[in-house]
Structure 1
């Protein structure tokens, strides 16, 4: 189920994004980005509708994923 990010309290949204960024361990090339930069990158992707928040009933977790990868 898709969760509209606009309906989530700002502090909760930030915590979800931070948790996602910290567990992803993404390579950012030659220069590593700060946690704040990574959080802002994901927030911009949410705002541009490139990624979505998805609730997994099976795992009872929220994840962030590219919109085109979501299969209802």
Structure 2
């Protein structure tokens, strides 16, 4: 189920994004980016509709996914 990011309190949204960024792994780019920069990038992507918040009833977790990769209900998010 898609969760509208605008419906989430700003502090909660920031915590969700930080958690996502921290578990998504290491930078392999030329320059290391700070946590703040990574969070800013995800917020920008949410605002642009590039990514969405997905709630998994099966796993009782929330994740951030690219808009084009949203699983169907039959795939048990």
Quickly name the TM-score band, shorter chain normalised.
over 0.9
Relative contact order (alpha carbons < 8 A, sep ≥ 6): 1 or 2 greater?
1
So what's the TM-score if we normalise by structure 1?
A: 0.96
Q: 1:27, CA displacement in angstroms? A: 2.5
- Give the gaps of 5 or more residues in structure 2: 73-77
1:22 is aligned to 22
- Give the gaps of 5 or more residues in structure 1: none
Residues 55, 63 of structure 2: 8 Å contact kept: yes
> Which runs of 4 or more aligned residues in structure 1 lie more than 6 Å from their structure 2 counterparts after TM superposition?
none
Paired residues in the alignment total 72
Query: What's the Cα RMSD here?
Result: 0.9
> Which structure: larger Rg?
2
1:2 is aligned to 2
Q: Output the CA distance in 1 between the equivalents of 2:18 and 2:26.
A: 13
Alignment of 1:1-72 (within 5 A): 1-72=1-72
